[in-house]
């Protein structure tokens, strides 16, 4: 996704989650954005030096609110129906780890950009709503629109998609993964995602050793 790295992914990572049904989605967006920015400003030096603490923060502040199974189902589309339950579970786990890595990396690139909240519109009985925001970059950079699509379950609101500059997160990953499945199969896709996660962990460990003066 062309703008998924850097700030859009940062804000995206803040927002995907669940709340009690009596908490309006726009309120969730404001509260979660504020909390993550507060932590980032206070501990950015620590997060930069120790990615384990950065990941722990992401897992604590973001992970409990993700519905990775629902997102995975949307991303895989027809391939979800064709997959075994074991494949579904493994894909959802790898997709979760991919998003956590993406968001954690984006957090370190935050440089006090301003988030503007556009007027929120909903009506009694609505089961789906969209919360619209804009990220105002410094230095005269273009405004980046980020929209969060929520749906209402029996007990909570959940984000099921995010659109950045008119590009849907779900649609982007769906196209990428569909091509991989078509050419190599579901198992190959899951294996490549797992390898990417392992390689990333190794690279982080090596970087940590160099920073600490190790060999």
pLDDT digits (tens, 9 = 90+) for 135-192: 888 777 888 898 888 888 777 788 888 888 898 888 999 999 999 999 999 999 999 9
Which of 33-37, 126-130, 193-197, 208-212 is least confident? Answer: 208-212
Q: Mutual orientation of helices 25-49 and 85-107 as an angle, nearest 10°? A: 70
Residue 30 covered by a domain: yes
Supply the CATH number for residue 71's domain: 3.10.450.710
Name the residue with higher pLDDT: 75 or 67.
Answer: 75
120, β-bridge pairs = none
Full residue range of the structural domain in which residue 102 is found: 7-211
Which one is predicted more confidently, 73 or 200? 73
The verdict on residue 104 lying in a domain is yes
CA torsion sign for 63, 143, 4, 80 is positive
Residue 1 lies in a domain: no
CB 85 within 8 A of CB 92: no
**Over the stretch 51-62, which tens digit does the pLDDT of each residue have?**
888 888 888 876
For residue 6, what pLDDT is reported?
39
Does any domain span residue 205?
yes
Residue 25 belongs to a domain: yes
For residues 69 and 76, give the distance between their C-alpha atoms in angstroms, rounded to a whole number: 10
Look at the chain and report how many structural domains it folds into: 1
Asked, for residue 134, whether it belongs to a domain, the answer is yes
37-68: buried (b, 16+ CB within 10 Å) or exposed (e) per residue?
A: beebeeeeeebeeebeebbebbeebbbebbbb
């Amino acid at each position: 996704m062309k703008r998924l790295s850097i700030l859009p992914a940062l804000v995206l990572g803040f927002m995907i989650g669940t709340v009690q049904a009596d908490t309006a989605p726009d309120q969730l967006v404001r509260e979660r954005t504020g909390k993550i920015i507060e932590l980032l400003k206070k501990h950015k030096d620590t997060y930069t030096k120790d990615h384990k603490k950065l990941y722990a923060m992401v897992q604590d502040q973001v992970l409990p609110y993700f519905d990775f199974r629902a997102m995975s189902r949307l991303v895989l589309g027809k391939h979800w129906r064709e997959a075994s339950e074991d494949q579904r579970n493994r894909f959802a786990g790898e997709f979760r780890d991919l998003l956590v890595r993406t968001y954690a990396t984006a957090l370190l690139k935050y440089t006090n950009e301003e988030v503007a909240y556009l007027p929120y519109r909903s009506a009694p009985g609505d089961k789906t709503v969209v919360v619209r925001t804009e990220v105002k970059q410094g230095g005269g950079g273009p405004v980046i629109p980020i929209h969060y699509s929520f749906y209402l379950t029996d007990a909570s609101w959940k984000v099921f998609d995010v659109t950045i500059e008119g590009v849907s997160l779900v649609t982007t990953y769906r196209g990428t993964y569909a091509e991989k499945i078509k050419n190599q199969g579901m198992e190959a896709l899951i294996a490549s995602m797992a390898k990417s996660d392992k390689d990333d962990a190794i690279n982080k460990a090596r970087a940590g050793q160099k920073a600490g003066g190790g060999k």
